[in-house]
Amino acid sequence: MTDTVQPRATTPFPPFTLRLPEGDAIPLVCDSPHSGVRYPDDFGFAMPFEQLRSGEDTDVHVLWNALPAVGATLLAAEFPRSYIDPNRDTDDIDPGLLAAPWPGAPLRPSEKSRLGIGLIWRQAGQAKEVPIYDRQLSPAEVQARIDNYHRPYHEAMREHIEAAYARFGAVWHLNLHSMPANSYESLQIRSDHPLADFVLGDRDGATCAPKFVQMVAQSLRKHGYRVAINDPFKGVALIARLGRPAERRHSIQIEVHRGLYMNELTRERSAGFAQLQSHLAEVAADIGAYVRSQLP
């Protein structure tokens, strides 16, 4: 995956990079859907580029780069979520963004679309307050983004999830993200406590066995991190689609506080980056050991 920010990347380009397991594979498939920094040259954004970058989960795939060493598969998006968000369903579109009626099945904009961060983002910036476009988008333009980036990403995820499940009869999925310091404010949620260092989301127990969530939480807590469950992030389309614990398909979302490893204004790595990366290598090893312990 490129770590070099490209404000106007020649399109189309491969929508993701894939790292396969090193050594013996285990049924652990991980993805970083929001760490892409190649901005397609047909994006047509009208806001300052540095403010647009606030939507990135910059360097999340690098923080978790030890996962393949424990036998996991790691998929990372190359494109930015503000262009098209792979953690949204393809009908989660704000009709007000479109220059003409959507030609397919009826749209179903969610709360994320209301907040301006649906499949196609309407707003960005530190407080999600700056309009991205000075125009409306054609349905054909949006469909091209789905065809060239969103769909291939999901097809790759499905391929590796299903291959792992077919081989082992079970699969575990980590959906990897970072969260800004003002997460409560940007989600329009009032909270009487500060944002945790990590938030684990399982859609209120729907996508993962509780013992797996607790194992990940305990692994993080032993390094001194504050861990919350489903507060304020419960997980969105990716884990909802993949997580069916009754079938031994377990999926959780992991959010890390950006203040632990970056300057949120400049996107530059902070002095805490190396230590966090080292701790997450140990967490990855704990997760790998747990997955192995669950296999026949």
Q: What is the 3-class SS of 247-265, one letter each residue?
A: HCEEEEEEEEEHHHCECCC
Provide CB contacts within 8 A for 200, sequence distance 6+.
213, 216, 217, 227, 228, 229, 230, 252, 253, 254, 255
Q: Are 197 and 226 in contact (CB under 8 A)?
A: yes
Q: Are 282 and 73 in contact (CB under 8 A)?
A: no
| Domains of the chain as residue ranges with CATH | 6-87+138-293 (3.40.630.40)
> pTM here?
0.96
> What are the beta bridge partners of residue 131?
123
Q: Are 215 and 290 in contact (CB under 8 A)?
A: yes
* CA pair distance 137, 139, nearest whole angstrom: 6
- Hey, what amino acid is at 189? I
Q: What is the pLDDT along the chain (296 residues), one digit of tens a residue?
A: 667 899 999 999 999 999 999 999 999 999 999 999 999 999 999 999 999 999 999 999 999 999 999 999 999 999 999 999 999 999 999 999 999 999 988 999 999 999 999 999 999 988 788 999 999 999 999 999 999 999 999 999 999 999 999 999 999 999 999 999 999 998 889 999 999 999 999 999 999 999 999 999 999 999 999 999 999 999 999 999 999 999 999 999 999 999 999 999 999 999 999 999 999 999 999 999 999 999 99
Beta strands 227-229; 198-201: pairing state:
parallel
Bond from prior residue into 232 cis (ω within 30 degrees of 0) = yes
